[in-house]
Chains A and B, each alone.
Chain A
Amino acid sequence: MPDDMKLVFNLTRFEMQYPQFIQSIAPKIADEEILNPIKSRMRDFGYSQKIIDSTRIENLQISNLGQIEFDVVSDYKSELGFDVAEAREKGTSRHFIKPINAKALSFIVGGFIRGFSKGHWVKGITASNVIEKTVAEFTPIAQIKLNEETDLFLQRSIEQ
């Protein structure tokens, strides 16, 4: 087969196989380039493993307009329905806590003095914004990685 016709054949094959390639590469890119860095930073910030495990990729879609769209979701809630993941991500303001089922809240003062409380004010949790900042930082890197993978796929398709 002449070289030119071979190139046409390979380009046609690339065009036909490209959607399948994107479907296979998109979850991989989302996991490796977005989700893993988020989890790694969560560990660095001292997030609980339950919050880390609950962080995931959802709603991954490949649109006809040339976009891979997905959501990074983190929604771990305590047994009482308190959204711990959101509290760590967005932070909380100073608020009053009180026991709901138990008679008193137990806490440690000074490292060795146990105290009890019927309710008291606590200062809020500082927002870490790990997910938001990591997504903003690593999305360009993911795009570069996706472009490289696409180039490699194109190169493999043409050189076959």
Chain B
Amino acid sequence: MPVVEKVSLSILSDSELKSLEQKIVKLESLADRKQAATNEISRKKTRQTGIFASTEGQDALPSSIIKKRRKLTDNISRESDSILAALDKSRDKKSAAAIVKKSEFTKLQQKVNVQENILNNITRGQNLLSGASGLATPGGILSAASGAARIIPGLAIAIAAAQFVADKYIAQFGAGGTKDTRIKIRDEDLSNIGVENETDITSGRKLFLSNPLRNQGLPTGNSNTQNIRDGIRIFNLRQEGSYQ
């Protein structure tokens, strides 16, 4: 009788393969949905790349899609970061030459210089417009705006400057501004304190003279004419009975 030893090794059974097949089908379905969602997101992103595009999507999306969308945005920002890092490197011409071609680098440098000039002009214009002395009157505002218009080139910058001027002009009517009407009302209220003030004036306890020092009982000036004038007025008022 021969020697026979039975050996048994485990492999994937039919049921396990069938289970795997079911998972594959499920995964395929999920992959289809993900692909459809990705296409939809990319379509929406393409539609929103205009100057009037909103930053947020108008349609309600499932949270999973929003997460994927944020992921896409993060990827884009990462790409932007890498580009910015490359631009930082490009400050060194030697390393920039390794990144950008020489002609491309020259164009890029020119663009950067133009941007710097525009930014400098904006800064100068804002410094001019920020001065309050030139904005006290509409004429001052116009002169400031026209001066800014001469200094700041470009329509968009002129519009920004006009908006800035308008804001400054409106601010003059606000609290603490030079054209704040509430200050005047408050001054009138302080100068006219009611019936008692009227009585004091009519009874001669408050005397309005041209020389304010005399009202306060202080020594009068050296002018004899003023003293005589004041004396006559006081005499007349006393005769009328309104000065005591």
Contacts and interface: CB of A to CB of B under 8 A. Distances in A.
Interface stretch (B17-25, B80-88, B147-155, B175-183): B17-25
A139 B6 CA distance: 10
Contact of A90 (B3, B13, B30): B3
Interface stretch (A10-18, A92-100, A101-109, A110-118): A10-18
A66 B3 contact: no
Interface in B51-92: none
B104 interface: no
Contacts of B112: none
B21 to A, nearest CB: 6
Interface residues of A, number: 40
Interface string B7-33: 111111111110011001001101110
Given A11-B24, A15-B20, A146 B3 contact: no
A65 B214 CA distance: 124
A5 B28 contact: yes
Contacts of B21: 12, 15
B205 interface: no
B27 A67 contact: no
Contacts of A72: 3-7
Interface string A45-85: 00000000000000000101111111111110000000101
A4 B7 contact: no
B142 to A, nearest CB: 62
B30 A22 contact: no
Nearest to A72: B5
Interface string B88-119: 00000000000000000000000000000000
Contacts of B31: 2, 4-5, 7-8
A132 interface: yes
A68 B8 contact: yes
B27 A11 contact: yes
A75 B1 CA distance: 7
Contacts of B3: 72-75, 85-86, 89-90, 131
Contact of B16 (A29, A66, A74, A75): A66
B7 A135 contact: yes
B124 interface: no
A70 B3 CA distance: 13
A155 interface: no
Contacts of A146: 9-11
Contact of B7 (A12, A62, A139): A139
Contacts of A139: 7-9
Contacts of B34: 2, 4
